[in-house]
Structure formats: C-alpha cells, structure tokens
C-alpha cells in the first residue's frame, strides 16, 4: 500500500488501518473499523493498552486503544452498548496532512442501512487525529444536518497502558463531583483514587488537565470543556477474568481515562455542530 509523507495504509490482523508517523519517530495506528486508534508510540514506548485477546473480526468491539462511544454511552439508551460507531467501518477523508513535526488525519463515519435502522437521525461524524512529538489529540465532531434536533451521549474511551495499575497515581480529580457506577453512590472525590479492584466512576470534568504518574513518567490528559464528564475505569482482577477478550492479568496493565458525556445528553440543534477533544501528552 502506498507510502505518503506522514503515513501509510496497512493491514492489522486483516483489518484496514492507517499509520501516522513523524520524522522524529512517534507514530499512531488507527483502524478504519471504529476509527479506533490502537497504538500510539511516543518516546519509544507504547502508550495505549490493546488486549492481546481482542477480537479483530470486524464485527466485535475491539478491546483497547481508543474506542469511540457514539451516540450512546454504555447502556444509557436503546442502542447497543456504547453505541454503533465502534463496530462500524469508517472512511479516510483524504491523505494525512504533514506539516513540519505534526501529522493529521480525518476519518468519517458513513451511515448505512444498519445504522439507519438503529438511529434514523441524519448525522455527520468525523474524527480528527493530530500527532505531534509527545502528544496525540483526538477531536470528535458531530454535525446535525437536520431536520430534527439531535441528542447523543458518548466518549473517547481511552485505554492507557500502565506498568502496574495498583501503583499509578491519577492526579486532578480531588474534590470533583463523582458517581460511583459500582455502588450507585453520588459524592465528591476525596484524594487520589486507588486502583486495587474494580473501579468505575464518572466525574464532573474539571478545568485543569489530569496528570497520570506511572513509574517515574507523567502523562497529561486534557479534554475540551464540551465534554461534561471524565470516566475512569479498570475492571479489576475478578471482572477482568470474566471478560473473554482480556487476559486474566490484563487489568493490571491498563487504565481507562475517558473524555465523556454520560448523564446529560449533548444537544446539537438543526444545522449545528458540536466538537469535543481529548489530548494526551507525555512529559
């Protein structure tokens, strides 16, 4: 497949994918299936977790990387869990743009009969990926061409690769309103969360980026104010063992930190556009 400045098309376990590569060495790999980024190498190290037991059959959700949950978060509505965008083939919008030390690529989600049966609402959705030395930004854009108002929930469900989840420190949540999905309790985050078992919380997003400390390294995790929530998820040992697409010890090597809209759907008026991003930066 053709090599273009900034990237090239390739197959990943038979699935069409596109690799962005910077002259400096950082790279990202995105599947057209789900527009799911499944690898981001920065500073010579993989920064995203992809389960080695992920089904890569072009039908199932891929476990890891950056799934796009749209237009429904989890089971908060009538659609399949986390919506249909992650189990649909997206298309590339032209070649990547390489300018100096940054590469960018846009994918869009075409509608088809399966989607229209699930969600008759006309829509245009695209994902812009921007790779720079040490950083990766994903911007989801949702257009409502009308004729009706549109509502959706969703997330950039980012699986970060960590050395040992029980040792990481995710800073910046202290004091934020939170909902614990496991206990169904509302409260305020107190201190630094501990990941020593199943963890599934939805936070009101703060203004400042979060910082993940892992084995002497820091990753800054920022999101646009257009997402109301940040979700933090780790299945823990017991739940992980029940997930057929995870190795039993996979939970220890991942932490999901998601830019999300969970409780209150986003309204996109007729002819309106919404966009939301998450940016990961290695320090």
- Binding part of the chain for ligand TA6, among 43-51, 74-82, 138-146, 206-214 by CB under 6 A, reads 74-82
> Out of 39, 51, 74, 88, which residue is the one contacting ligand TA6 (CB under 6 A)?
74
Three-class secondary structure of residue 117 per DSSP: helix
How far apart, in whole angstroms, are the C-alpha atoms of residue 19 and residue 32? Answer: 11
> Out of 170, 210, 231, 259, which residue is the one contacting ligand TA6 (CB under 6 A)?
231
Give the count of beta carbons closer than 10 Å to the beta carbon of residue 178: 21
Q: Looking at beta carbons only, is 29 or 202 nearer to ligand TA6? A: 202
Q: Looking at beta carbons only, is 168 or 202 nearer to ligand TA6? A: 202
Residues from 124 through 183 that contact ligand TA6 (CB under 6 A): 157, 181
CB of 97 to ligand TA6, least distance (A): 31
| Cβ atoms of residues 122 and 21 within 8 Å | no
> 12: Cβ–Cβ under 8 A, 6 or more apart, which residues?
29, 31, 38, 56
Asked whether position 82 contacts ligand TA6 by CB under 6 A, the answer is yes
Residues from 40 through 69 that contact ligand TA6 (CB under 6 A): 61
> Out of 81, 114, 188, 218, which residue is the one contacting ligand TA6 (CB under 6 A)?
81
> Out of 33, 119, 152, 233, which residue is the one contacting ligand TA6 (CB under 6 A)?
233
CB of 231 to ligand TA6, least distance (A): 5
CB of 233 to ligand TA6, least distance (A): 4
Q: Looking at beta carbons only, is 203 or 277 nearer to ligand TA6? A: 203
* Alpha-carbon dihedral angle through residues 128, 211, 282, 254, given to the nearest 10 degrees: -80
- Tell me how many residues contact ligand TA6 (CB under 6 A): 11
Burial class (CB in 10 A: 0-12, 13-18, 19+), 45: exposed
The residue number whose beta carbon is nearest to ligand TA6 equals 233
DSSP string of 189-252, one letter each residue: --SS---SS-EEEEEE--SSPEEEEETTEEEEEEE-TT--EEEEEE-HHHHHHT-TTS-TTGGG
Closest of 40, 30, 36 to residue 10, by C-alpha: 30
What is the x/- site pattern for ligand TA6, positions 172-201, by CB under 6 A? ---------x------------------x-
Burial class (CB in 10 A: 0-12, 13-18, 19+), 173: buried
Three-class secondary structure of residue 149 per DSSP: coil
CB of 147 to ligand TA6, least distance (A): 32
- Binding site residues, ligand TA6, CB under 6 A: 61, 74, 81-82, 157, 181, 200, 231, 233, 256, 258
């Amino acid at each position: 497949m053709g090599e273009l400045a900034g990237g090239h098309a390739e197959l990943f376990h038979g699935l069409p994918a596109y690799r962005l590569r910077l002259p400096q060495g950082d790279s990202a790999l995105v599947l057209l299936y789900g527009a799911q980024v499944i690898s981001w190498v920065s500073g010579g190290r993989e920064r995203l977790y992809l389960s080695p037991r992920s089904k890569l059959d072009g039908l199932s959700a891929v476990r890891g990387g950056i799934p796009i949950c749209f237009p429904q978060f989890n089971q908060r509505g009538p659609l399949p869990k986390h919506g249909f965008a992650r189990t649909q083939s997206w298309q590339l919008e032209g070649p990547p743009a390489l300018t100096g030390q940054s590469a960018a690529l846009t994918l869009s989600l075409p509608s088809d009969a399966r989607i229209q049966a699930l969600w008759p609402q006309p829509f245009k959705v695209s994902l812009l990926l921007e790779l720079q030395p040490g950083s990766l930004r994903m911007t989801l854009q949702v257009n409502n061409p009308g004729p009706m108002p549109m509502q959706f929930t969703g997330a950039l469900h980012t699986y970060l690769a960590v050395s040992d989840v029980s040792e990481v420190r995710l800073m910046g949540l202290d004091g934020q309103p939170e909902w614990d999905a496991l206990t169904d309790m509302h409260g305020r985050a107190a201190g630094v969360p501990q990941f020593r078992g199943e963890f599934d919380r939805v936070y009101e997003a703060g203004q400042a980026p979060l910082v993940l400390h892992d084995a002497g390294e820091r990753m800054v995790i920022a999101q646009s104010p257009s997402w109301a929530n940040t979700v933090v998820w780790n299945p823990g040992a017991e739940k992980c063992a029940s997930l057929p697409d995870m190795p039993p010890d996979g939970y220890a090597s991942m932490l999901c930190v998601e830019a999300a809209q969970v409780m209150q759907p986003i309204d996109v008026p007729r002819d309106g556009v919404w966009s939301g991003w998450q940016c990961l930066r290695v320090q």
